[in-house]
Structure 1
């Protein structure tokens, strides 16, 4: 089956991939296309922009956390029925895990799903040197199907025509457009990347402007032609048939400006297992929804909204009461921070949080952990009945200090070129709660989702705290 698609890749981070990606998505949607967005790698912020623009949930395609066959299945499943798929790359085209170009890189994903690549370069201050740069990306891995070049950060058409002539003469790859330098359309950043879409004022106006710029200087017809020439994909597209399915389990999912970092496929898998997801806001709602059998706190920016979270005392008390009653609770990164006793911001202000763990979170000026990790779940917990290993990703600027020895469920390992370079304990476990810094993709170990839903079912049936202390 043919799934019209292309990858928007960059020569490096900061070249304008996200701005151009959402502009292209907006322009295609304006033409009436049903656009399915994807993001290479473990990012949460860029997919939120994609979803806002297209109206379709963006999906992560991660070639390190997931097997190639799983990546392909998830792509086909979500691209099915859509007019065109736009896949935004991560970092530079060949940047992945360590120095391995075929472990988690944009190039790796493009080969797994046989997608043509549009390479975005920064043309500022260059002429013929742009051709040398493109040629290097072309010959580094000839199996990567680079079908077009978009040049960003140009003064105007004359500069574009100069670079276009050089690139096409020396590389044979067509240039399909450019973007003018325009600081007004730049998406602002803070300590973990772009400011999330839910916090951007006048976002629709800004996206409309970016889309109009794309329409003006990028050949959309050529992009569409390239997408339609993508190699046909064959394989199973139906949702995986799970052995267990748990009806009527209600899992509360924290979703607002403070908590919105979730892999959409994780949520889908919980639903496929029979869970009904009930969304709530720790910022705005007075208490948890009624009749919940589990809680899921994703990552986000609780430190940015710490004062508002602190002031919502009734919600914090509602969560603490539910936890004390044994409700299965799983939290990642920002969710972990929220479940500690307090968060101290970079400004030195201390704000009380839920207080499940006798620990506190302190923000720091530098990254504490960043990158892919191997999470060894060493003892039974809310998402695992048995010890198991799972791949994950960490990215945070906070540290946890504990006033007593809390129980750990994880031993986390960081490797480079197959060699262990660091390891530490994480995964705080208390009552029927598990909270850790690592973000885990359930499709790496689907039994984790099954075990979580089963624990929620046990709680609903009054079978007690299966893995509590």
Structure 2
């Protein structure tokens, strides 16, 4: 099929090696060449994909093999490639870092093999010469079945330094070095407690990225990169059973979308739209009126940074309470849970009144309370799952929620076949469900039928 399709995975030797920055530069450069570029991210990360989208202008997609079965993920990838000339897939952590010690489970390497995409390995050139070849050789030999098609060297001091590194790698590793990335001012991404600042909050200045792209055009062999990234086939995929195309007809879903709430997988919104739903967006921060709707979605984000403004918007809080009382089907994830709670204590120790729909109190901590992949089994009928059904997702939060109502999900974190942690989470009050768990609806699109049925039950 597809001499016209191109894709590659930009992988690193570890976290912090510059994958996101270099990905953004390549996205900008390839877009400048007039290519239709589809950005992707391995794993569940919302922040990197937000920056991809801001630089590229095309919604970045998450490729998550913990939440999505192989046929489903492949089907999503195939669908996105129909509108693209090239996919640029940013890896997660180091190339072989997955969930647990199995390098073929939820790792960048496993994703590259699943999709049949070549790997471009990004290695750090700072304060090293010939030893860089040992690093590359180790990654090559760890899994000889993986197609490491080329190397890019980051943080190179000079052209002379680069030539030394290039000769060493190509001599001892027999893999082409496609170029290097020099140090540049103005292209670092802002960070804070959950990682990067969201692209939504920090309006991106395109000029430094355009300058960065112009530099990469001189230091990276893009023609060779495109030649290596040509795909002979796209991976075989198959969609699971989807809700009926008219399942959401006549219903309106209001999605919270502003500086406080903006963590959504584009695939989730697409799946909802395919049911015939009318989808509108609103801002809990800035709007005083809730749209006329039968469903509400409050996604993740940073409500703790905007707690004072959220608390002051009493009109919106009152409208949310009224919507809840009349049975509007409300779903909240992580930051949305904090907003629906009774109160929120921010990192300064100030406490703010929230919607008080899910009785309980959020408090910001100084370290991660819980993070990573987990499973949640419904103990009773909930907005997304019937009793006994299991949702796969991830948690990543510094806050902790002290509930005043019993949890409805039994959660656990299993790694390398061992249960590391078990806890209760997720709260259902009336037609409202909230939890810390972020989920991808494509893992079981039928969960949307539960949500749609709950919305219709209140009509």
Cα displacement string for residues 97-146 of structure 1 (whole angstroms, at most 9, x for unaligned residues): 01111111111110111001101111101111111001111111112111
Q: Counterpart in 2 of 1:225?
A: 227
Give the direction of change, closer, same or farther, for the CA distance of 1:64–1:239 in structure 2 (3 Å limit).
closer
Q: Counterpart in 1 of 2:80?
A: 78
Q: Counterpart in 2 of 1:365?
A: 366
Matched-pair contact (CA < 8 Å) for 2:133–2:168: yes
Pairwise CA RMSD: 1.6
Cα displacement string for residues 361-380 of structure 1 (whole angstroms, at most 9, x for unaligned residues): 11000001011101111110
Shift of 1:173: 0.9
Matched-pair contact (CA < 8 Å) for 1:253–1:280: yes
Paired residues in the alignment total 456
Shift of 1:235: 3.7
Q: Counterpart in 1 of 2:357?
A: 356
Aligned mate of 1:170, from 169, 172, 196: 172
5+ residue gaps, structure 1, are: 463-469
Cα displacement string for residues 441-463 of structure 1 (whole angstroms, at most 9, x for unaligned residues): 1111222122112222333xx2x
5+ residue gaps, structure 2, are: none
Q: Counterpart in 1 of 2:430?
A: 431
Cα displacement string for residues 337-364 of structure 1 (whole angstroms, at most 9, x for unaligned residues): 1111221111112122211122111100
Q: Counterpart in 1 of 2:25?
A: 23
Aligned equivalents of 1:238, 1:429: Cα separation in 2: 29
- Pair 1:97 & 2:96 matched: no
Shift of 1:212: 2.3
**SS of structure 2 residue aligned to 1:173:** coil
Cα displacement string for residues 277-308 of structure 1 (whole angstroms, at most 9, x for unaligned residues): 11111111112112x01011110111111122
- Pair 1:293 & 2:269 matched: no
Matched-pair contact (CA < 8 Å) for 1:275–1:453: no
Matched-pair contact (CA < 8 Å) for 1:7–1:87: yes
Give the direction of change, closer, same or farther, for the CA distance of 1:78–1:238 in structure 2 (3 Å limit).
farther
**SS of structure 2 residue aligned to 1:391:** strand
Moved more, 339-348 or 162-171: 339-348
Shift of 1:310: 1.5
Cα displacement string for residues 253-278 of structure 1 (whole angstroms, at most 9, x for unaligned residues): 11111111111111111111222211
Matched-pair contact (CA < 8 Å) for 2:242–2:446: no
Shift of 1:250: 0.8
Aligned equivalents of 1:226, 1:306: Cα separation in 2: 48
Shift of 1:385: 3.5
TM-score, length-scaled by structure 1: 0.94
Q: Counterpart in 2 of 1:42?
A: 44
- Pair 1:260 & 2:262 matched: yes
Cα displacement string for residues 176-203 of structure 1 (whole angstroms, at most 9, x for unaligned residues): 1111123431112111111111122443
Matched-pair contact (CA < 8 Å) for 2:118–2:229: yes
Cα displacement string for residues 386-415 of structure 1 (whole angstroms, at most 9, x for unaligned residues): 43012110110001123x3x0311110011
**SS of structure 1 residue aligned to 2:120:** strand
Q: Counterpart in 2 of 1:396?
A: 397
**SS of structure 1 residue aligned to 2:407:** strand
Shift of 1:238: 8.1
TM-score, length-scaled by structure 2: 0.96
Cα displacement string for residues 404-433 of structure 1 (whole angstroms, at most 9, x for unaligned residues): 3x0311110011211112100000111111
Matched-pair contact (CA < 8 Å) for 1:345–1:362: yes
Written as runs of structure 1 = structure 2, the 5 A alignment for 1:57-456 is 57-228=59-230, 230-233=231-234, 235=236, 242-243=243-244, 245-246=246-247, 247-290=249-292, 292-402=293-403, 404=404, 406-456=405-455
**SS of structure 2 residue aligned to 1:446:** coil
